[in-house]
Structure 1
Amino acid sequence: MNTPLAVNFEDVKAAAARLRGNINTTPVLTSTTANRRTGAQVFFKCENFQRTGSFKFRGAFNALSSLSPEEKKRGVFTYSSGNHAQAIARAGQMLGIPTTIIMPDNAPIVKREATAGYGAEIVLYQPSETVREDYCRQRAEERGGTIIPPYNHPHIIAGQGTTALELIETAGKLDLLLVCCGGGGLLSGCAIAARELSPNCRIIGVEPEQADDATRSFYTKTLHKINNPDTIADGARTPYLGSLTFPIILAKVDEMVTVSEDAIARAMFFLWERLKIVVEPTGALATAALLDGVVKAENRRVGVIISGGNVDLKGAIALFEKC
């Protein structure tokens, strides 16, 4: 007997209702150049225009607004390198919930400063010496707070799934949907929505070659782990898929692919130059798979999730000069 998945389409619809009026309905952009290069009709869902600059706000607001009054009063804890941190901080600010973020000391400065600007308490740790989940659990227990992890949480997954729900409502049914993958919250949520709204759509997750734990896990059906992977896509440095996201990805996703560091950088600069939008390396993963030919898309309607735009500009300039 199959074990029921932690999240279903009804949860995604409930999240959409909860988020209505509290999030940005992000634009779906097209590019004649991208269409010509790929031979496809490409629809870019631009979550870099979401509150706090990434899709993460969807799940964060959905999760925090679902807490009981007592849980809200005691506050929320999480661990994140940046985008989830900002999302939790901003959602907490909007809902009047105290937030504490356990953040690696090598997190991009732009993300750390934004998180602090939203009123969160930041506690730094060294990734080489500390297991962030354990440290967060310890701090939360000391204060009686609730932990909202970056991806392995039903309300997080359901909230992220509203990204694909909006995309398909705007662009119509798709033949392919490309989604970046770190811990799998966005990919699993979008896969649930796409399976319901566009049943014939092929759903593909995209990872950096240097952080391919989810791809290995998907094809072996055994959870793989990579500690502190060395990739410019900092949002994909999560060491492994979650106990909730992994089964959903196995059940709902058709394929996992990887892209090189150079391909990520080229895709990021393509989006800057051609679509005139600022996108971070992780946000360009799905675009990289398409433009680099890892995924063949000729004569197909293709949805591409651009997951965020919280780029470290100094780092990006150095990367541009290197390329």
Structure 2
Amino acid sequence: MSQALFGKLPDGREVHSLSLQSGRLSAKILTLGAILQDLRMEDVDHPLVLGTPAVTDYLGPARYFGAIVGRFANRIGEGSFTLDGKTYRTDPNFRDRHTLHGGSEGIDTQIWQVQSLAPDRATLTLDLPDGHMGFPGTIWITAGIHLAGDELSFTLSARTDAPTICSLAHHGFFDLDGRGDIRNHSLMIDAGHYLPVDDDLIPTGEIRPVDGSDFDFRSPRRIGSAGYDHNFCLSDGQRPLCPVARLTGESGLSMQVETTACGLQFYDGAYMRDVPGLDGRIYGPHAGLALETQHWPDAPNRPGFPDAVLRPGQVYSETTIYRFIA
């Protein structure tokens, strides 16, 4: 267990790195965005995640890499939603029209406070004021990050003092082989439906069966080059922790994903471009993939999607476990 200065942001804010270790896993967590900056496994000669050694890259080419994103993960169409009869305009940081991952100053850009630190776990907290990025209500967020043997877990929780919307997600990029191309990884996703999107990657509102399509990952198969940045519909609401996906590299190393969340965003990294990475790597297209457990995107504007509203007196809570199997 240790805490050290990782770097300074252009505005002078200090970012610290927290080192965790348990069993065969070791991790580095940044106070910027609660970012998982590095993850290693004994007897594996490469990082399991994509990260960067320069703190400023997390505000540029490596934006969202390994971060906790929110207060509403993924996209909100047209940067607006209506809650209890009032319309809210949120920061249009995606294509100048839509809101992505909580806006241009989402929680991935914030310095989180270290509430507690132990050799195998860290608890970080963040408070956002009412009106931040256009969202209503003060929100108090807690991220519990824990290593246990061959497992990495995130428990994300939040409370508010006024009705708001909330969806928090870990936005890690994984490469189990360390080869800089995940298209030959095998993937299984236990979902019978997914959300088609328009040209701006906003869900159309249709909940489409995966049968007979490139989105049918119910049996493990090679990822390939079809192009994925879509939400897979795991359930119509929160449910008990259970396995939902399994990723396997050509090396044979596997990662099982377990979650309580109702959605899983699978992004194959097709749009990465020349991102400076760990151990001197340069990340290009398909260098890693994201499996983001979350509420369904644009849920505040889609009455047929699972409810993403958080009200005073309620506690938002989601747990996700990444279990590595050699």
TM-score by length of 1: 0.25
- Counting strand residues as a fraction of each chain, which structure ranks higher? 2
More helix, by proportion: 1
Please, what TM-score do these two structures have when normalized by structure 2? 0.25
